[in-house]
Every structure is written in C-alpha cells, then in structure tokens.
Structure 1
C-alpha cells in the first residue's frame, strides 16, 4: 500500500464511499418495509463496508471495492507487499490486507500524519483565506475550524470542512470503527468572538 498517496486517495475516494453509504441507507429503508429483501440488503451493505479484524498477533483490514475504482488491483497488491503487508483480492472486488499489529500501528500513524500535514496546508496555502486555525481530537472525530466569520460566509471555504470530514471518516475506517458509527463533527468558530456559529456532522449532513 503506497501510503504516500493515501491523502489523495482519501479525497478521490471520499465521494464514492459516501455515495455507497447513502445507497446502503436507502436499501436498508426498503428492507424494513419488505422483510424478504432484508438479507440481500445486508449482504450489499457488508460488501461496501470496511472491516478490521484485530487478532492476537496480526490485524486484517478489508477495504471495499469502491476504494479501488480505476485502479489495477494486481498493482495495489504488489505495492502493499512491497510495504511488508500481505494482500489478497476478494470475489466482491474488495482487498484484504494482513499485517502485524506493529505495522498496523505504523500505518495509522502515517495516515494521521498525512491528515495533519493536509490541515497545515489548508491553514497556510492561502486557498482558504478565512481559515485561521484548525484543531482536532486524537481520533479525528471532531475538528474546530477557527475562521474570520465575514470572509468565511462570503467564500467557498466551507469546502475545507468536507476534506476534514472525509479524512476523519477514513481514519476511523482503517482504525476498525463500525461503519454505522462513523461520525465526524466540524465546529466553525468565529475568530473574533470565539462563538461557534455553525456545526457540520459527517456523514449525516452529506446525506441530506
């Protein structure tokens, strides 16, 4: 797995993952009305969800097929094995990575650093002129964007929250959080007054 490209993968795959989650929610709603389709919808949901199995010595991470749109899975597997991670293609197009606990810890650390580096770029690149600071908790389930409120409300800087939400959800995915429990809360705080004037919850607000 080429972790140097991970943040780019996060941003490109994020819409696909959110779309898959939205589709699965719709299917589950239909299943509640028609019990005969419940098992089928559950199977479809499971095939799109990442899973992490933390054993005594090793960790298995299964990434859904939607994360590999447009990629050659044989190359994905070769790249992973070059990083010391065993990888196997599954019949549904997903890929299962098997690694030591220390390697999994290293992988999460690299993902974390990629997100932190991207946050720093958001703050300093000038692409989001209203953003003055971004803080977060250790699990990336909550971010606070400190902004110039007037500039923020008259710009497209809200897109920064999308990148934060996707990054937080991807970190949770690789950390083994149940897909039904992915939550990232983005607080928008006015630099001048310290008041939180907006709050965005991922993925809920993306599905409305």
Structure 2
C-alpha cells in the first residue's frame, strides 16, 4: 500500500516540474521583495511536514513512503523532474517548491479528485456506484451504490482510490499524520442506509 502512495507521489512530481518552468519570473520578483519567513505548519518527527515560508514550501515525507527505494533512486527520480530534494538522517526526504508551485499543486490535486470521482460514476467501470459526494477538504466521501450489485462485485476497490487520493491531498496540505483521517461511507441508494465504512490510513495498517 505504501508503494502505491509513492507512485502517486511521483505523479505529483511530474506536475510540479511543469509548474517550475512557468514560475521562474514570478519567483525572482518574490525574492527581491521578501526575505523572511512568514508562517510554519509542521507535524511530529517522522511524519509529513509542510513548512510554509514567505518564498517557498517544503514538504517532508516520512521514510515509510519510500520502502524498497534507495536514496539514490529517490533523489534521481526527483531531479529528473527538476525538483529540489534533500535526504534526511531519519530516512525522510524534503522536497522544496515555491509557494506558487505548492498552491498550483493543491489546486491541481483538487481538480483531479473532482475529475476522478466523476469518472468513477460515469465510466461504467464501477456499475454499482451511482454517485460520489465529498466534503471540501476531501476528508470524507460518500459512495451511493446499488447494494445488491455492489456486494456481488469488486467495486469496493473504488474506495481504495478515494482513500489514497484523499490521504495525499490532506498530507500535502499540511495535515497532522498522527490525527488526520479519510472516511469512505457506503450508502444504499434505495434505503439511504449506510452499509459500510472504511477509514484511512487505519485500513492500510490493517492489511500490513
């Protein structure tokens, strides 16, 4: 499961690389007008840490996100995408980007979540799923399903995609990894009854 999270992170790096080429001009202007730190949001040691400074944002990902990956590979993958990365003594890695890049990243992740949830309903890949709704910060999703069709299918795997996407959004937005959670509720279309619930990241720990 953690390797899946790493793959998702690499996809995010691709977006960051695209942003960096468009922000060079604005970044130089920012550097001329500001020099000091403005604010900081961080978690306990070993988790994801997001430091928001006046000029840049640093995202530190824990070692658990990179199981099976050597430091050389992690750094090389990031540098291929033009991203500044530092390996830390505790096995975590810190990625540095401008504030504008971070904002674009969060906006892009939000747009991609909007798009992917809509496609889950409309694509026909998950025929038992009739609707998906979610809150603003992607910490809670509700999948409305045809109960009988859902229970006799593999459509439950859709909740994994929602959970992983919600987790990545929360973590990159500065959520405390010791306290955050993503709740996926399954609601029967006919009765309105909640017939199942999955909470991430607890669900990932249960299968390790």
TM-score when normalising by structure 1: 0.69
Tell me how far 1:168 sits from its aligned partner: 0.8
Name the structure with the higher helix share: 1
Q: Secondary structure at the match of 1:132?
A: strand
Tell me how far 1:123 sits from its aligned partner: 1.7
Count matched residues.
168
Are residues 7 and 74 of structure 1, via their aligned partners in 2, closer, same or farther at CA, if it must alter by over 3 Å?
closer
* Equivalent residue for 2:118, pick from 117, 120, 133: 120
Tell me how far 1:174 sits from its aligned partner: 0.6
Residue 132 of structure 1 pairs with residue 133 of structure 2: no
Q: Secondary structure at the match of 1:118?
A: helix
In the TM superposition, what whole-angstrom CA distance separates every residue of 1:24-70 from its partner, at most 9, and x where no partner exists? Answer: xxxxxxxxxxxxxxxxxxxxx833x2111112332110122343444
Alignment RMSD, CA only?
2.8
After TM superposition, what 4+ stretches of structure 1 lie above 4 angstroms from structure 2?
none
Residue 46 of structure 1 corresponds to 45
Tell me how far 1:170 sits from its aligned partner: 1.1
Following the alignment from structure 2 to structure 1, what is the Cα–Cα distance between the partners of residues 138 and 91?
A: 28
Q: Is the contact between residue 6 and residue 65 of structure 2 (CA under 8 Å) also seen in structure 1?
A: no
- Structure 2's unaligned 5+ residue stretches are 11-43
Following the alignment from structure 1 to structure 2, what is the Cα–Cα distance between the partners of residues 10 and 63?
A: 13
Q: Secondary structure at the match of 1:182?
A: coil
In the TM superposition, what whole-angstrom CA distance separates every residue of 1:129-175 from its partner, at most 9, and x where no partner exists? Answer: 20111111111100010111111111121111121111111111111
TM-score when normalising by structure 2: 0.69
Tell me how far 1:7 sits from its aligned partner: 8.3
Q: Secondary structure at the match of 1:138?
A: coil
